[in-house]
Amino acid sequence: MSAGVFILVSVIKSVIVLVVLLTAVAYTVWLERKVVGHMQNRWGPTRVGPFGLLQPAADGLKFLFKEDLTPPHVYKPLFLAAPMMALIFALTSISVIPFGNSITLWGTSIPLQITDLNIGLLLILGVTSLGVYGVALAGWSSNNKYSLLGGLRASAQMVSYEIALGLSLVGVLIQSGSFSLRAIVDAQGGHFLGFIPRWNIFHGQFIGFFIYLMAAYAETNRIPFDLPEAETELVAGYHTEYSAMKFAMFFMAEYSNMITVACLATLLFFGGWHGPLFGPPLLQSLLPLFWFGAKIFCFIFLYIWVRGTLPRFRYDQLMSFGWKFLLPLAIANLVATAIAVAW
């Protein structure tokens, strides 16, 4: 592939991935309102389009045309930069997620992934750990005590749960022997006993998946770990002072983080795009994408289900759960996996 073709292909792939991601973000919001609505015995959005399907477009227009307020006492440079930082870091991590095998167009093999790094997983962890700055600086620069408390909670919570999150992934890394997400997925093809898929979750990483799930909820600030924006205590936490598109940017960052976390769980524990293939050749080439999308949908639904079900943790419960339960469990899982692999 020549340099010109490479750049063209990369730009096209980036645009497609970004459009799909942002659409998915918009419809995850719609899905959440709809599903939580039905769980609470009400309808959710119904007015804009059939089943309220055009609600995300209406919301987007509303955010664009709303007055963009900047309160007088904020520290302006950081107040403006914080939502951008949150959104940029949230969107960056999708660049190393593989969606399927490569396809061949006009004699050129194109992998379904923006870029395949041999440190792909580390890049996601690094970018996620930078994402906390958006939230923390938003809380601080707003010059409001609720925002500051939200920002402080967010940074303490994310630093605490990042350790358990990282350790829960090491078990998978030991089994597959690579940081490249494509290599990790390729290692999960095939079956045990002819019918159980060779996914990592059936390959001794069930506890690892449990720890990952808990830590991922905390990293994305979702119920039951949504203390940085706990409405009953902190008004709206770190984004209390934000309005219009800046507020929407925090929401887009949160939901695209949810999607990245769901992608990562699918790739690391549920075999990525592996699934039963059947039918004519065209269907066979589209089925991996379908399986990948279906697995992500299950995770997003689980997120929403948990939000509709569980109450919020108290702050000391959150910290002691992270440090005294998840972290020792993650270390035990790591040691057990290492012994099993070395055996």
Contacting positions for another protein (CB under 8 A): 78, 117-119, 122-123, 125-127, 129-130, 132-133, 136-137, 139-140, 148, 151-152, 155-156, 158-159, 162, 179
Q: How far is the CB of 158 from another protein (least distance, A)?
A: 7
Q: Among 301, 297, 220, 295, which Cα is nearest to 253's?
A: 220
Nearest CA to 337 among 235, 149, 204?
204
Residue (46 or 178) nearer to another protein, CB: 178
Smallest separation, CB 97 to another protein (Å): 16
Distance of CA 35 to the CA centre of its chain: 19
Distance of closest approach, residue 329 Cβ to another protein, in angstroms: 20
Measured from the CB atom, the residue of 139 and 288 that comes closer to another protein is 139
Query: 7 or 294: whose CB is closer to another protein?
Result: 7
Closest contact distance (angstroms) between CB of 289 and another protein is 28
Nearer to another protein, 101 or 129 (CB): 129
Nearer to another protein, 100 or 150 (CB): 150
Closest separation in Å from C-beta 18 to another protein: 22
Closest approach of another protein to the CB of residue 7, in Å: 12
Q: Let me know if 54 is exposed, middle or buried by CB neighbors in 10 A (0-12, 13-18, 19+).
A: middle
Which CB sits closer to another protein, 35 or 154? 154
Q: How far is the CB of 147 from another protein (least distance, A)?
A: 10
Minimum CB separation of residue 248 from another protein in Å reads 24
Task: Select 100 or 166, whichever has its Cβ closest to another protein.
Answer: 166
Asked if residue 177 lies in contact with residue 299, where contact means CB atoms within 8 angstroms, the answer is: no
Burial of 194 (0-12, 13-18, 19+ CB in 10 A): exposed
What is the spatial distance between Cα 117 and Cα 326, in angstroms, rounded to a whole number?
29
Comparing CB distances to another protein, the nearer of 156 and 249 is 156
Decide whether 151 or 197 has the Cβ nearer to another protein: 151
User: Across the chain, which distance is largest between two alpha carbons, in Å?
Assistant: 66
Minimum distance from residue 14 beta carbon to another protein (Å): 19
